[in-house]
Amino acid sequence: MPYELDDYLSRHFQTSGIDLADKVDELIALVAPGESPNRPLYRDMLITVIRMAQADRNRWDAKIMLQTLREMEHAFSALEQFKRRRKVTVFGSARTPPSHPLYTLARELGATLARHELMVITGAGGGIMAAAHEGAGLENSLGFNITLPFEQGANATVHGTSNLLSFHFFFLRKLFFVKEADGLVLCPGGFGTLDEALEVLTLMQTGKSPLVPVVLLDQPGGSFWKDAMAFIENQLVGNRYILPSDLRLVRLAHSAAEAAAEIAHFYGNYHSSRWIKDRYVIRLNHALNDEAMQQLNLEFSGLCTSGGFQQQPYCESELDEPELCHLTRLAFAFNSRDHGRLRELLDLINLPQHWQQPSG
């Protein structure tokens, strides 16, 4: 939603005799390409900073704003080179020693994801993070480190390379863990791992983050995630704090191959999604056949506030992503509520028997 100047600031611009809005437009015209659809957004960013300067906030507030903008711009720039590569964020304890079976499992996970041409994102530390990067190798690794008052060294795989980013704020680091992830794998860990797991599920359950495959990975016979899921089912579902279908947002696995297969299956037909006005649009690698469309309209009609599901081609509202124009769209008026059921819908459209077969 575009930012609107409040009355107080507008009056200040007028009474000062300076048309600051025009000055901002002149500055944008000097630096942003004329055809950029982002020019109104850049304008609102500058106006936001100007508002803060006009109010002359305290120094701590100003430093937070400055550090946040700098870190985000640097991260956007550094990650541009990896923009078209799918990535999987791996969480787990930094205290897991190399002799532990979970370390071996995480290293195997990194290698398996790399064979699927997936990059591995971790917090760049030791334990599970180091193991996943060891398996993936530098070419397939990204590390998001956190700057702390005490030493927080990056693991040997990404240390001193351009594949390592350092963040001052935890909240920005967490933002990029999720923003850049096309999948998440969570190994056993402490408070940080549990925090990430619950935050990711909350973001997807509430629609604040796009659906991606979330895999809880444990060693064969391990009970860490099994016990956690039992608590969630007994207490959260049992007390109706969450919907039973919300449990479909996450899957349990006990091998690297199983975790990688779950992620690969998620993208078998599903490519990506976005909102276009009041319609939720799912981009498909393969158009769906008539039987699949009938099944969707029969089994998942509850996801629609009106009408049903329709397949449609690329439209003019998506001119900002022309590289995806060849993909078929599945569009519907999503209720923005039942994201667990939406995950089940994606499972259905990812089954090959539901795809249209090439003619001839």
CATH of the domain at 106: 3.40.50.450
Strand-by-strand arrangement of the 310-312 sheet = 270-276, 279-284, 328-332, 310-312
Answer yes or no: do 149 and 259 share one domain. Answer: yes
At which of 245, 266, 287 does a domain end?
Answer: 266
Answer yes or no: do 117 and 228 share one domain. Answer: yes
Answer yes or no: do 348 and 302 share one domain. Answer: yes
Answer yes or no: do 120 and 23 share one domain. Answer: no
70 assigned to some structural domain: no
CA separation, residue 183 to residues 107, 113, 212 (Å): 17, 11, 5
DSSP-derived 3-state class of residue 217: strand
**pLDDT reported for residue 320:** 63
Answer yes or no: are the C-beta atoms of 184 and 215 closer than 8 Å: yes
Count other C-beta atoms under 10 Å from residue 40's C-beta: 12
**pLDDT reported for residue 232:** 97
146 assigned to some structural domain: yes
Residues paired with residue 146 on neighbouring β-strands, in sequence order: 167
124 assigned to some structural domain: yes
Answer yes or no: do 112 and 226 share one domain. Answer: yes
Encode the chain (360 residues) as per-residue pLDDT tens digits: 334 444 444 445 544 556 788 889 899 999 999 889 899 999 999 999 998 998 898 999 999 999 999 999 999 999 999 998 999 999 999 999 999 999 999 999 999 999 999 999 999 999 999 999 999 999 999 999 998 766 567 999 999 999 999 999 999 999 999 999 999 999 999 999 999 999 999 999 999 999 999 999 999 999 999 999 999 999 999 999 999 999 999 999 999 999 999 999 999 999 999 999 899 999 999 999 999 999 999 999 999 999 999 999 877 666 667 778 889 999 999 999 999 999 999 999 999 999 998 765
**pLDDT reported for residue 2:** 39
What is the per-residue DSSP string for 20-42? Answer: HHHHHHHHHHHHS-TT-TTHHHH
At which of 234, 266, 298 does a domain end?
Answer: 266
Which parts of 15-173 are beta strand (E)? Answer: 87-91, 119-122, 141-146, 164-167
122 assigned to some structural domain: yes
Answer yes or no: do 223 and 95 share one domain. Answer: yes
How many domains is the chain built from?
Answer: 3
Answer yes or no: are the C-beta atoms of 251 and 343 closer than 8 Å: no
Answer yes or no: do 134 and 187 share one domain. Answer: yes
**pLDDT reported for residue 315:** 74
290 assigned to some structural domain: yes
2 assigned to some structural domain: no
Answer yes or no: do 228 and 250 share one domain. Answer: yes
Answer yes or no: do 52 and 113 share one domain. Answer: no
Note down the domain range covering 34.
7-56
Closest Cα partner for 170 from 294, 68, 316? 68
Answer yes or no: do 238 and 212 share one domain. Answer: yes
61 assigned to some structural domain: no
Answer yes or no: do 114 and 176 share one domain. Answer: yes
At which of 266, 300, 335 does a domain end?
Answer: 266
Answer yes or no: do 243 and 301 share one domain. Answer: no
Closest Cα partner for 133 from 87, 99, 197? 87
Answer yes or no: are the C-beta atoms of 306 and 333 closer than 8 Å: yes
75 assigned to some structural domain: no
Count CA atoms within 13 Å of residue 99 on its CB side: 0
